[in-house]
Structure 1
Amino acid sequence: MALAELGVVVLDCPDPDALAGFYAAVLGGTVEREQDGRWVDLKVPGGQALAFQRAEGYRAPRWPRAGSDGQQFHLDLTVPDLDAAQEGVLKLGATLLDAGEPGRSWRVYADPAGHPFCLCAC
């Protein structure tokens, strides 16, 4: 028996509205803002919700893992067409971190706040 259930994954960032908008464009869903602007929820259809919290003095994790600012976690997002998805996330402000060898089924990116995420061919 589990002691708890996962409520939401929360990403610290300097601008919750902007980062929620980025992931809404990537995943779909509905953005719900708190009045003070420090917290934004993204309700993803058929999936786990994401939340974004304003963090004063935010420092993006580094990739590849290095020192105390190394990758703390990442999201794996499955896509039917890796090249098309890459084009889309780059237009939305993502940065390609690691394309890997030709034919590899996943690539590593940073979102606009610097959090690493992977696009994985399904």
Structure 2
Amino acid sequence: MAIAKLDVVVLDCPDPRKLAGFYAEVLGGTVEVQRDGDEEWVDLTVPDGQKLAFQAAPGYVPPKWPSPDASQQFHLDLTVEDLDAAEQAVLALGATVLDAEDRSRTWRVYADPVGHPFCLCAG
């Protein structure tokens, strides 16, 4: 029997609303902002019900990819129908290419606008 159920993946970032907006454009869904005093928490609920959350992290330092000296911390795998079209769309939204040189692979690696790595994977 499981001890817990995964609720949400939380990404640290300098501007939670802005990063949630980026992922809302990529994944679809609804952004909801919650305030608790000075603290702000932003949830993105995607159409299938899964959630990503975003929290402000003062002094945020983006992960390095690839780096033998520093961990990438984690990455998201996002399934797409058309790699080339999805690549153009995420680049237009502010993503950057980390590793997309081998066009024969079924996946490519990018960074979101604040440096979190994610992969576009052919579905």
Coarse TM-score class (shorter-chain normalised): over 0.9
Moved more, 41-50 or 74-83: 41-50
Q: Could you tell me how far apart the structure 1 residues matched to 2:62 and 2:30 are?
A: 25
Is 2:114 the partner of 1:119? no
Structure 2 partner of 1:89: 90
Q: Secondary structure at the match of 1:89?
A: helix
Whose strand fraction is larger, Structure 1's or Structure 2's?
A: 2
Structure 2 partner of 1:16: 16
Judged with a 3 Å threshold, the aligned counterparts in structure 2 of structure 1 residues 76 and 47 are, in CA distance, closer, same or farther, namely farther
Unaligned runs of 5+ in 1: none
Counterparts of 1:37-48 in structure 2, within 5 Å, are 38-48=40-50
Moved more, 81-90 or 39-48: 39-48
TM-score normalised to the size of structure 2?
Answer: 0.94
Contact 1:16-1:37 at 8 Å conserved across structures = no
Aligned partner letter, 1:61: P
TM-score normalised to the size of structure 1?
Answer: 0.94
Contact 1:96-1:110 at 8 Å conserved across structures = yes
Q: When the two structures are aligned, how many residues end up with a matched partner?
A: 121
Counterparts of 1:25-40 in structure 2, within 5 Å, are 25-35=25-35, 36=38, 38-40=40-42
Unaligned runs of 5+ in 2: none
Aligned partner letter, 1:32: E
Moved more, 50-59 or 99-108: 99-108
Moved more, 40-49 or 20-29: 40-49
CA deviation after TM superposition for structure 1 residue 38, in Å:
2.3
Q: Could you tell me how far apart the structure 1 residues matched to 2:87 and 2:68 are?
A: 25
Aligned partner letter, 1:34: Q
Cα deviation digits, residues 28-75 of structure 1 (max 9, x gap): 00000013462100011114200000000000000003323x201000
Q: What is the Cα-based RMSD across aligned positions, in Å? A: 1.1
